[in-house]
Structure 1
Amino acid sequence: MKSVAILTMVYDDDIYLKIWLSYWEKFVPRSNLYVLIHADYGHYEQMASDCNTIRIARPPMHAGSEVSRWKMLSSLASGLTLMFDRVIYTDVDEIIALDPKHGNNPIDYILGPVDKRDSHGALIVIQAGICDGDQLGTRPDVGRGMGVP
């Protein structure tokens, strides 16, 4: 059976982590969720109980901070592909929603055989705070959406 790991990173984001966990545990067991924590470790480990949690130090910000962060996330996600068929990373304030025309389970869609010629716009990234909707991200972030025309 094909499997998916889903990865995020959290720092002072209680509300978003709660939403992120609640959303993804509908589709995969918590054992497939990976939460990188770099603040208030015990609190976030409790929130993410039964998930894989990884404590990391929050390094001081510098000119290359984002590049370093993405290199680390890329390396971790690449390593997880040795154990999972697919690995998804989203920031804790983002979820990936499936266009209802293509079903209601983004994991089935991602793992299933998809004719890419007919799937344009099927997956949409919803990001809180930057989207066209309210602060909880109930409307798609069209500007950065995956496959959004």
Structure 2
Amino acid sequence: MKHKAVCLTLALVLCTAGLAFAQVDDINKMLMSSFEMLEKGKYKEAQKILEKVLQKDPGNPLALNNLAAVMVAAKKYDKADSYLNQALPRAKGYMVQVNRVCQVGGICVAFKPVTAGTGNQELAPLVMLNIDMVKAYMAQEPLPAKGPR
């Protein structure tokens, strides 16, 4: 009886780990697809995919960073700033591939996702760079009919 309980527990643990692995793989595929849409200038499609990533993995720093790039393309700088500030705390230790970037609007950079452990740059300093660029742009551009931001 004890042996059956141990086997059942082990099987449950293995199934749960397999599901978690499948979800991570699915998120990585979605992040890659959204990056490809960004590169092609298909921002609405990229936004839809990134929002699905955030439903599955709330606070995913790469999804938030790249969603900020979508907001820059839509000239929604306040939203871009908000997404970047949400990404920053979780971006430490998150690796991306910097040799594949997609610059949006000249002020925000989206990054290519990579499989775990294969990136060449930590995301946090890059998110900070995007925050600085978006804030500098916001400081230059007045809000319509309201003056400086």
TM range (shorter): under 0.3
Higher relative contact order structure (alpha carbons within 8 Å, sequence separation ≥ 6): 1
What's the TM-score once normalised by structure 2's chain length? 0.27
Decide which structure has greater helix share.
2
**Rg larger in structure:** 2
* TM-score, normalisation: structure 1: 0.27
